[in-house]
Amino acid sequence: MLLLVGLGNPGAAYQGHRHNVGFMAVDAIARAHNFGTPRLRFRGEVREGTLTSAKGATKTLILKPMTYMNESGNAVREAVEFFKLPLSDVVVIYDEIDLAPGKVRAKAGGGNAGHNGLRSISAHIGNDYRRVRLGVGHPGIKEIVHMHVLHDFAKSERQWLDPLLDAVAQAAPYLADSDDAGFMNKVTLLTAPPKPPSKSKEQ
């Protein structure tokens, strides 16, 4: 079983924030793969479904903690303990300011880089879970990082955000296969700009 955790803050006021791109990503995965209706469990909103690849079908639980970002670990710990999951079956999707907008990185373990959601999760279950970082860009000034992430994506940013979320949803079965490199490659391929038409040779 795979536990897919999207990080964000609950409530309409936070819905469009850069800090909520983890919520947006798991919602896109749930829609693309016809997951079940959301319900409240493990101090969060959960949806059950299946991610199917060439290797087979993997039962998957999507979890959006409703505890606010700083307490995300409480919800994740309850789900991990209930299902007795190894941390290799836990994937956390979240915003990363140190990645350029639209870039994606996936790996197991690593530091928390000042992200309060990760800090909370690591405090509750350890640090060896898998992570998918979705780049939202850095404002360039350390003092306004908090305001940057707790602010809606600009309309112009939808030009890269919507294709990114679609690509993450299409590539999600690679995460179920524990193929993080394949996941990154698929997302990169799906979000690559179209190649210009080749010029025909002069006759």
Q: Is the dihedral of CA 189, 193, 194, 196 positive or negative?
A: negative
Token representation of residue 44:
């969060």
Residue found under tokens 């798991």: 26
Can you list the pairs that 188-197 forms with residues at least 24 positions away whose Cβ atoms lie under 8 Å?
188/104, 190/163, 190/166, 191/102, 191/160, 191/163, 191/164, 191/167
CB 134 within 8 A of CB 21: yes
| Identified catalytic residue from 19, 124, 148, 151 | 19
| Residue 138 a catalytic site member | no
Provide the annotated active-site residues.
19
